[in-house]
Amino acid sequence: MPARAASPVRPAAFPRSRRLKRRRLIRPLFDRGRADVGRVRAGTVVLLYRTVPREATGHDVGAQVGFAPGRRATNTIRTRVRRHLREAFRLHQGPLLDRFGGRPDCLTMMTLYRGRDDGAGEAIRRDLPRALARLAEREIPLAEAIPAPSERPRP
């Protein structure tokens, strides 16, 4: 059986290591007083992002992403919106991963849907690629190292 040649196209995978699950990484994204949190809006999609040292994520990946469909009428609708968000991200993640793959820090990002329930799939397929393209174009500074607990100033 002949060996397969490596494909030049990046596979559109979304492994568990790229999913943002740690509460201590998610919570700062929603803190309005933080200067290190950025926001990108495109239609019905909002991206909240910041960079952190890779050691803080527990995985050696360039980006970790979480998805929040917002409050919906039923759990079924929430699940459907979250699936649309994940699939649209999976298909359009290439430029973002290329940009952050070689950096020493990690992009943590929450993807929020702020539209109506009907037509959510179409709105997400239209707006999420635009938001990801805008984010990939932005100049995002490197994350600062998190000081050890003994070095942190006491309040």
Percent of the chain beyond pLDDT 70?
85
Could you tell me the pLDDT band of residue 108, with boundaries at 50, 70 and 90? Answer: very high
The per-residue DSSP string of 38-84 comes to: EEEEETTEEEEEEEEEHHHHTS--SEEEEEE--S-SSHHHHHHHHHH
Alpha-carbon gap, residue 47 to 66, rounded angstroms? 10
Average pLDDT score over residue span 16-42: 91
SS3 13: coil
* CATH architecture, range 40-137: 2-Layer Sandwich (3.30)
Average pLDDT score over residue span 122-139: 92
The whole-number pLDDT of residue 153 equals 52
pLDDT, tens digit (0-9, with 9 covering 90-100), for 9-27: 456 788 888 999 999 999 9
The whole-number pLDDT of residue 146 equals 52
Alpha-carbon gap, residue 112 to 120, rounded angstroms? 12
Alpha-carbon gap, residue 22 to 57, rounded angstroms? 8
Residues 132 and 93 sit within 8 Å (Cβ to Cβ)? yes
pTM score, whole prediction = 0.81
